[in-house]
Amino acid sequence: MADQKEKAIDVEKLLKNKLKGLSIGDLENGIAKVVTELVGEDYKCTINDVKYSLFSGADFHVKIELSYNPED
């Protein structure tokens, strides 16, 4: 283990939560797009109860539903 170099923790980067700069709508659209591509059917996403953590994270409730489109 003496051969392994320890990496210094960038405290500024850790404390700057970039998730706060994203809109909830952008997160919902991004998640819905990925699920739609994986499943092959149109899905929508709803996010609520967002709580940002001090260390660059977030907790939230995600609801994924099949989008109903009567034209399909």
HEC per residue, the chain: CCCCCCCCCCHHHHHCCHHHHCCHHHHHHHHHHHHHHHHCCCEEEEEEEEEECCCCCEEEEEEEEECCCCCC
Residue 3 in this model has a pLDDT that exceeds 70: no
Give residue limits of the domains in the chain. Answer: 13-66
Quote the pLDDT of residue 13.
72
pTM of the model: 0.72
Rounded Cα distance between 11 and 28, Å, is 29
Higher pLDDT pick, 17 / 67: 67
Task: Say what the pLDDT of residue 4 is.
Answer: 60
Backbone phi, psi, residue 20, to 5°: -65, -20
pLDDT tens-place string over residues 4-44: 667 887 777 767 788 888 999 999 999 999 999 999 999 99
Contact 57, 17 (CB under 8 A): yes
